Amino acid sequence: MTDPQVAVMMLGIFLLTIFLGFPICFTLMAMGVGFGYYAYYDAARMQTLFDNRVFDLLVNQTYSVMANDVLTAVPLFLFMGYIVERANIVDRLFSTLYVAARHVPGAMAVAALATCAMFATATGIVGAVVTLMGLLAFPAMLKARYDVSFASGVICAGGCLGILIPPSIMLIVYAATSNVSIVKLYAGAMIPGFLLAGLYMMYVVGRAWLNPKLAPKPPEEETAHYSFFQIAYMLVTSFFPLAILILSVLGAILFGLATPSEAAAVGALGGLLLAACYRALTWQRLRESVYLTVRTSAMVCWLFVGSWTFSSVFSYLGGEQLISEFVIGLDLSPVLFLILAQLIIFLLGWPLEWSEIIIIFVPIFLPLLPHFNIDPLFFGILVALNLQTSFLTPPMAMAAYYLKGIAPPHVQLVQIFRGVLPFLSMVFLAMFLLYMFPALALWLPQLVYG
């Protein structure tokens, strides 16, 4: 068996272990070390058991992850999101936006989407956003006699926006994987991210206007007693503090006033100050936020260690070159290559989380981008849009399962699936618009950075 054939077998065994449910990061490390031991074994040197370069490779990859400046921002952004989540800021924000949008068709759904978009920018964790909004906004919509499927789709779709809208953790991971500037990625994701959120809101308002039974208007006595000054005060005390924090963090990154890690540190400090101002900063909440931050950061870092070790061995055995030659030999046009790559990522999104797709499988496509003259920044934004579908596509729509886990017993999974399908079509529409008009992702980075 040749080395490239061993590399293909290595990839096949890894895919099999994923479907069997083995822990992915440790499986990557085990397979990287195991196959690397074979790849780097030198029989002529009469090696002892531990005299193999694969162990040096594992240590070097671990050090590379620890020394990566881009990845330093991950735990800081995570901490900002977790502390905001536990400080009861989001429920204030949702109530305020609902009252402010009370005259808009589907006001509560619009407020839920806007809250999801803002909270998603603060945390970037789909499960956290869907779960919190499922506990906060979903019961309120059901109480207001909203259609179950309609309300479910709003929560699931809105909760996924965090992996696209900056400061997205996913974009940080893609930047570390592809060596694309995280600052340019953030700039490139701004317009597509808010375009998708806008499409969601247009759909919600349009459906509620055409069929008011889906989203009944609130009773007049429920919102009539709010004066303009009361609403302004609510916005000042709930919406603007969080908005200012997020815009300050993003502005510092986009305009070069701070590195992503420095801006993330400011965001984490700002989250603590907001929680203290709202008198919600308790020792228990702080401890929970730190624990969740450490746990999630460790998962991401070990995934990087395992993935980089695995991919180094895979490339050394000739697997990357074999795949590259095979794809180039198909003589695909850039359009067909993009469709093929996005289709593979779409299918991988059923059994895998976005982190595993970005760290493990996207690097397989990255060396092929120059051959097809595709900007890796544009490819990254397209992937970020595509990964929305991995959380919304039945039967493996993880956002639907997150919501089902905390929904009332009478809400059926099939109702949630039915609700997410229209929003799934909005994602495909956004991907089509991005492909037809690449300037949606490339205009702002070129304008700001040249």
pLDDT digits (tens, 9 = 90+) for 217-246: 877 666 666 677 777 877 777 778 878 888
Q: What is the rounded average pLDDT of the residues 60-68?
A: 80
| pLDDT score for 153 | 92
pLDDT digits (tens, 9 = 90+) for 143-201: 888 999 999 999 999 888 878 888 778 888 888 888 888 889 989 998 999 899 999 99
Q: Which percentage of the chain shows pLDDT scores above 70? A: 94
Predicted confidence at residue 81, as pLDDT, reads: 79
CA-CA distance, 137 to 155, in Å (whole number)? 8
* 114-154 tens-digit pLDDT: 888 887 766 666 667 787 788 888 888 888 889 999 999 99
Q: How many Cβ atoms sit within 10 Å of the Cβ of residue 435?
A: 17
**Mapping DSSP to helix (H, G, I), strand (E, B) and coil, where does residue 349 land?**
coil
Contact 199, 430 (CB under 8 A): yes
Give CA–CA dist 180/445, Å, rounded.
Answer: 12
Least confident of 5-9, 81-85, 102-106: 81-85
pLDDT band (50, 70, 90) for residue 104: confident
Give dist(CA 125, CA 121) in Å, integer. 9
Query: What gap in Å lies between CA 321 and CA 337, rounded to an integer?
Result: 17
Which sequence spans correspond to the domains of the chain? 3-40+50-67+302-382, 72-299+413-449
Indicate the pTM of the whole model: 0.83
The verdict on whether omega for the bond into residue 395 sits within 30 degrees of 0, i.e. cis, is yes
* Range of lowest pLDDT (180-189, 274-283, 366-375): 274-283
- Can you say how many angstroms the Cα of residue 168 is from the centroid of all Cα atoms in its chain? 6
In this structure, the number of other CB atoms found within 10 A of the CB of residue 23 comes to: 14
The amino acid occupying position 109 is A
Residue-level pLDDT at 426: 92
Structure token pair of residue 395: 């039967």
Answer for the pair 277, 241: CB distance below 8 angstroms, yes or no: yes
357 alpha-carbon distance from chain centroid: 11
Full DSSP string of 132-147? HHHHHHHHHHHHTT--
Q: How many CB atoms lie within 10 A of CB 53?
A: 16
User: What pLDDT is stored for residue 222 in this prediction?
Assistant: 61
**Residue 438: half-sphere exposure toward Cβ, Cα within 13 Å:** 10
**Confidence bin at 431 (pLDDT 50/70/90):** very high
> Percentage of the chain with pLDDT > 90?
16
Q: What is the pLDDT of residues 289-326, one digit of tens each?
A: 889 888 888 877 888 888 888 888 888 888 777 887 88
Average the pLDDT over 351-362 and give the result: 76
Q: Which residues, other chains included, contact 55 with Cβ-Cβ below 8 Å and sequence gap of 6+?
A: 33
Q: Are 87 and 281 in contact (CB under 8 A)?
A: yes
CA geometry: angle at 346 spanning 22 and 391, to 5°? 70
pLDDT digits (tens, 9 = 90+) for 2-32: 888 888 888 888 878 877 777 777 888 888 8
State which amino acid sits at residue 306. Answer: G
Residue 198's pLDDT is 92
